Amino acid sequence: MAARGPQQPALPVIGFLGLGSPRPMGRLVAAFRQGLAKAGYVEGQNVAIEYRWADGQYDRLPALAADLASRHVAVITAVAVDAALAAKAATRTIPIVFTIGDDPVKFGLVASLNRPGGNVTGVSFLSPVLEAKRIELLRELVPKASMIAELVNSKFPAAEIRVTAARAAASTLGFQLSVVNASNEREIDTAFATIAERRVSALLVASDPFFSNQREQLVTLAARHAMPAVYFSREFAAAGGLMSYGASIADAYRQAGIYTGKILKGASPQTCR
């Protein structure tokens, strides 16, 4: 009987929970892997990653999070506030690293920014505060406009925060704001038809991970309707969109990778901030 060599130790496993789909999120996932590499981990060499994608369907996130928790992964990286909330509901013991555009305290993910507490930490780029700047850019782009539209996703937990910030900025600048909702591909098509009917002069696409996943559709429709639009991340501009203004989401994913690597090395989520 041939002698067996020593068994290789199992690789630690990261559970990656995303609201979107693999292809649109490819650049951001690559940034996450860069952060992991900076922390000393390379996928397939000394760490494995189990990916779970909701493909823009919010109601799939709880089951996907529960699946990762049942597999006892070493850490869950959750991208988008809905994914982070689903992960937190699924486990109180597995460390969770989030990447979101909102205040994690407001949504109950952490106790405070300085002392997150519990098993959750992460990176927030506080996107709502930038809505006013995006509307200022629309004013410069279309100075004679009287009405602009904001495209929001009513299923996104932070949608009302986006609308409130946009209404305040629009009022200050003398715009009327027409809010149009879309939560799936078909509704996005319908939303652009509604925007055209309302004869608005420009479009603000509210920051939302679902819209990131649908950026090619959004950019194509804006061009088809000759609608000047401002977006919240450079990925839209790279896809052919007119302009964007926002924090570097790729940098946030990179930092999340660093935090995840630190936790794999034994750090507590409470010290990764």
Residue-by-residue pLDDT tens, the chain, 273 positions? 444 545 556 899 999 999 999 998 999 999 999 999 999 999 999 999 999 999 989 999 999 999 999 999 999 999 999 999 999 999 999 999 999 988 899 999 998 877 778 899 999 987 778 888 999 999 899 988 889 999 999 999 889 999 999 999 999 988 899 999 999 999 999 999 999 999 899 999 999 989 999 999 999 999 999 999 999 999 999 999 999 998 888 999 999 999 999 999 999 887 776
**Separation CA 209–CA 37 (nearest Å):** 25
pLDDT of residue 129: 81
Specify the CATH number for the domain of residue 236.
Answer: 3.40.50.2300
Q: What is the pTM of this model?
A: 0.86
Are 154 and 176 members of one domain? yes
Domain assignment of residue 174, yes or no: yes
Domain limits for position 29: 13-126+249-271
pLDDT of residue 7: 52
pLDDT of residue 273: 64
Domain assignment of residue 186, yes or no: yes
Domain assignment of residue 3, yes or no: no
pLDDT of residue 8: 55
